[in-house]
Amino acid sequence: MSITVDLPEDLQDELSAEAAQLGLTLPDYILRILSTGLPVGRTPKTGAELVSYWQSEGLIGNRPDITDSQARARQIREAAERRTRP
């Protein structure tokens, strides 16, 4: 199916820039946005719904190399504390 949509120029520029950052064409990026977006009125309302949404999007458990999340958070925090500003 093919649909033609006239976008305002500033929105097209913004979407094109985002697509380029991801290495996608503009049509592929727009298809990705449309296919992964939540339907209106279906935004997560509770923490459990948010976690469920994150799981469905593959955001939870995508780093199997991190076996101890608390230790990893501590490492990141300690590295940030040792960082010096230029």
What's the predicted TM-score (pTM) here? Answer: 0.46
The better pLDDT of the pair 74, 85 is held by: 74
Residue 57 belongs to a domain: no
- Which residue range forms the structural domain that includes residue 25? 8-39
Contact 16, 26 (CB under 8 A): yes
Average pLDDT of the chain, as a whole number: 87
Residue 24 belongs to a domain: yes
Residue 18 belongs to a domain: yes
27 — phi, psi (to 5°)?
A: -60, -40
Residue 29 belongs to a domain: yes
Contact 69, 58 (CB under 8 A): no
% pLDDT > 70, the chain: 95
Structurally, how many domains does the chain consist of? 1
Could you tell me the two tokens for 42?
A: 């279906």
Q: How confident is the model at residue 20 (pLDDT cuts 50, 70, 90)?
A: very high
